[in-house]
Amino acid sequence: MTRAALTRLTLTDFRSYARAELPLDGRAVYLFGSNGAGKTNLLEAVSLLTAGRGLRGSPIAELGRRLPGEPRGRAWAVAAEIRLGDEAVRLGTGVEQAGAPRRIVRLDGETVPPGRLAEVQRQVWLTPAQDRLFLEGASERRRFFDRLVYAARPGHAAQASAYEKAQRERMRLLTDGPDDPAWLTALEARMGEAGALMAQARAATLADLQAEIDERGERPFPQARLSLTGDWEQMAAQGVAVQEIESRLVRALADARERDAAAGRALTGPHRGDLAVVHAEKDRPAAECSTGEQKALILNLVLAQAARLSRAESAPNPILLLDEVAAHLDRRRRGALFDEIEALGLQAFLTGTDEHLFEDLRGRAQGVRVDASGLAPLDA
């Protein structure tokens, strides 16, 4: 295992922060303060040290600080130093011009594609927006699960992006024209290749997660039975070769052109799959469980992925971002969560409105008060 931990975080004109600098000692970090103080903004800044739009999914142009009367947000930057084993690495991301639609990513001063960030740290996060994960539509569960897949298999993000791009172009041709069978065939070939790899990565990640959950046995968090309902993921789970899945998907897309054109959307493919979670002890779907049980089930998935990744020999262990998680747990489960993080040796960032939620972490983690005056680290 290569331990990864942030040792300094610097924000410039990001969200509510004109300038903020937070020295870190590698331990878990708990951030506490009133609602609107900027705790989640800090977590979002950390989450942008990976590929994608971060834990809020906001457009890049909206992340810059904007004062009253300013038409758009300012150019912004998030910089960090990270200890990767015995090495020190510098990361940075942001936009150099206000309103820029794309961000720049730098690794030790060199401009690199965002995917390179997975070489030095990976992240798994849980936010209040995911509290209704089992009550919302399938797209939210796919997005949540794909984050877990990406943390274990960084190439998954590129395949998902390629698939989505080809899917949009295919639907544009089907609905708006021109009728170009050769171009449709080429786009469906791209979707087939990327989609088959997506299905394989999802199925493999789910199998790994289920094995981890089963191996962990009885814990304060409820055990879960997991499954993927998508046809293509089920094929992968059954051991169908990725080349065969690709071939079948290409044929299915070609056969569905008329139907998809009438519907205005693609009705088959890995973008239609779903994650199913069952509370194992109660043998009930997660959607039928209490709010607290649903939160604990989601948290168990996140911890299982973090535990599995922390044992990977060829990749940095993950950093956990847990926004407002402690408030939804009773004292016993909060203690279990803190113990788990410490036992895994992971750096985690947790937020909450009340300092007392983290009293069991005093002396074991780095506390930071967040308020209008800025960031105030507590004495160790």
Residues β-bridged to residue 335: none
**H helices of 226-330, where?**
231-237, 242-255, 257-263, 291-310
pTM: predicted TM-score of the whole model, two decimal places: 0.91
User: Exposed e or buried b for every residue in 147-172, given b needs 16+ CB within 10 A?
Assistant: bbbbbbbbebbebbebbeebbebbbe
**β 29-32/348-352 pair status:** parallel
Is it the case that residue 303 has pLDDT exceeding 80? yes
Q: How far is CA 57 from CA 77, 141, 144, in A?
A: 17, 14, 12
**β 17-23/4-14 pair status:** antiparallel
Distance CA 153, CA 147 (A): 10
- Residue 73's pLDDT is 86
Could you read off the pLDDT of 202-260 as tens digits, one per residue?
Answer: 999 999 999 999 987 667 788 999 999 999 999 999 999 999 999 999 999 999 999 99
**Section 354-379 average pLDDT:** 91
- Residue 330's pLDDT is 86
Could you read off the pLDDT of 105-135 as tens digits, one per residue?
Answer: 999 999 999 989 988 999 999 999 888 899 9
Summary mean pLDDT of the chain? 93
State the residue for tokens 């990749």. Answer: 315
User: Exposed e or buried b for every residue in 35-68, given b needs 16+ CB within 10 A?
Assistant: eebbbbbbbbbbbbbbbbbbbbeeebbebbbbee
Q: Are 151 and 115 in contact (CB under 8 A)?
A: no
Quote the tokens at residue 157. Answer: 């993000």
Distance CA 93, CA 78 (A): 5
Distance CA 334, CA 326 (A): 6
Is it the case that residue 66 has pLDDT exceeding 70? yes
> Angle, to 10 degrees, between the axis of helix 331-344 and the axis of helix 291-310?
10
Cβ neighbors of 278 (< 8 A, separation 6 or more) are 224, 225, 226, 227, 284, 285, 286
Backbone angles phi, psi at 256, to 5 degrees: -100, 10
Is it the case that residue 34 has pLDDT exceeding 80? yes
Q: Is the dihedral of CA 184, 190, 196, 201 positive or negative?
A: negative
Is it the case that residue 380 has pLDDT exceeding 60? no
Nearest to 223 by CA among 301, 115, 150: 301
Could you read off the pLDDT of 261-277 as tens digits, one per residue?
Answer: 999 999 999 999 999 99
Percent of the chain at pLDDT exceeding 70: 98
Instruction: Give yes or no for a cis peptide into 59 (omega within 30° of 0).
Output: no
**Section 335-352 average pLDDT:** 92
Q: What's the angle, vertex CA 276, arms to CA 271 and CA 282, rounded to 5?
A: 175
